Copies of this chain bind each other. A is one copy, B any other.
Amino acid sequence: MLQNDLLLRAAQGEKVERVPVWLMRQAGRVLPEYRAVRSRAKNFIDFVKNSEMAAEVTVQPVTILGVDAAIIFSDILVIPEAMGLPYQMIESKGPWFEKTIVSQADADALRITDGSNLKYVYNAINLAKKELQNSVPLIGFCGAPWTLLAYMVEGSGSKTFSKAKKMLYTQPKLAHQVLEKITQSSINYLKLQVEAGANLIQIFDSWAGVLSPEMHQEFSLRYMSWISDELGKKVPVTIFAKDAHFALPNIKNTSCSVVGLDWSINPVEARKILGASKVLQGNADPCLLYANLEVIEQQTKKMLSVFGNEKYIANLGHGLYPDTEKEKVKFFVDCIKKYSLQLNDEKVHA
């Protein structure tokens, strides 16, 4: 049904004609077209909640950059809000929660959402799917329960998330209670995303890297694994645990189809650890796109040749940085397309 289903087939482990590519934060400030829509919204949260605007910026990078998938424009923190913990997005500062989770009473007051109070996201998915006219797949997403807990306890971004980690060390039972509630809410939310038309799901564990290997296994990966078990029956699931190089052997044992890699990971090592069963996604340094075209081209070719053409989805190792030039982003996407085809040709001729 999809005209270009490269990403979907690659995520399912199938052989594809060329490596599919999309970019984390592809819908965002690198596009003047995004900024034009954004400027019409009162603030970031209103923007996220406006299904028409969200759908519009979701589709933009497909048309403008030629990526092989759209990812629904939203925010990972809609889940805490849907559970009763609202937040603000403060310009150039990041998220801020007026109320944080400190006590048992705070944890008890959190609702498990059945997902019904997140209709604006499903509406945005519906609209984006219509606008996409079956051109490419649409990716749905959520934050990893640990990453959401980190914000809900810390109350804002942090270099160390030491307040949130303190809870794991001093109130582990309380942490697990909240993590369970977040996980159940996320599963309900993602199932409705899939019902609305999401073809794949990615779980973003943005703050995986602040945890020790044991803590990550206990407080983060087991919940991502649970989400993957529930959703993976419906659509391919990607786990992206940023800065958690140590987690790869454990991620191997989850049901996820795709493993997102940051740029600190050596692709050859990752393949060795994860075996042939997982699809790899990543992992160019977002700062590569500051370089001149020659360097971008050379590094992109190198990345493709190291990952190989099979069981691979090209992407960055993290989201695009806002001050990246749009033309360079487009050039990177074009390089992926051009050289992954060439690699295939070389294989045929070899």
Partner-B contacts on A (CB < 8 A): 159-160, 162, 165-166, 168-170, 209, 212-213, 215, 243-246, 263-266, 285-288, 290-292, 295, 321, 323
Contacts and interface: CB of A to CB of B under 8 A. Distances in A.
Contact of A209 (B168, B213, B243): B243
A166 B290 CA distance: 6
B162 A264 contact: no
Contacts of A243: 209, 243, 264
A270 to B, nearest CB: 11
Contacts of A323: 162
User: How many copies of this chain does one complex carry?
Assistant: 2
A323 B163 CA distance: 10
Contacts of A160: 286-287, 321
Contacts of A287: 160, 162, 165-166, 168-169
Contacts of A288: 169
Contact of A215 (B166, B169, B265, B285): B285
A203 B172 CA distance: 35
Contacts of A168: 287
A266 B166 contact: no
25 contacts: A159-B159, A160-B286, A160-B321, A162-B290, A162-B323, A165-B287, A165-B290, A166-B287, A168-B287, A169-B288, A169-B291, A169-B295, A209-B243, A209-B264, A212-B263, A212-B264, A212-B285, A213-B264, A213-B266, A215-B285, A243-B243, A243-B264, A245-B246, A246-B264, A246-B266
Contacts of A169: 287-288, 290-291, 295
Given A166-B290, A212-B263, A246-B265, 16 more contacts: A160-B287, A160-B321, A162-B286, A162-B287, A165-B287, A165-B290, A169-B287, A169-B290, A170-B291, A170-B292, A212-B264, A213-B264, A213-B266, A243-B264, A246-B264, A246-B266
A168 to B, nearest CB: 8
Nearest to A269: B246
Which of A265, A285, A286 neighbours the largest number of chain B CB atoms within 10 Å of its CB?
A285
Nearest to A264: B246
A82 to B, nearest CB: 27
A295 to B, nearest CB: 7
A187 B291 CA distance: 31
For the complex of A and B, 9 pairs with smallest distance between CB atoms: A169-B291, A165-B287, A166-B290, A212-B263, A245-B245, A169-B290, A212-B285, A162-B321, A246-B264
Nearest to A318: B160
A165 B285 contact: yes
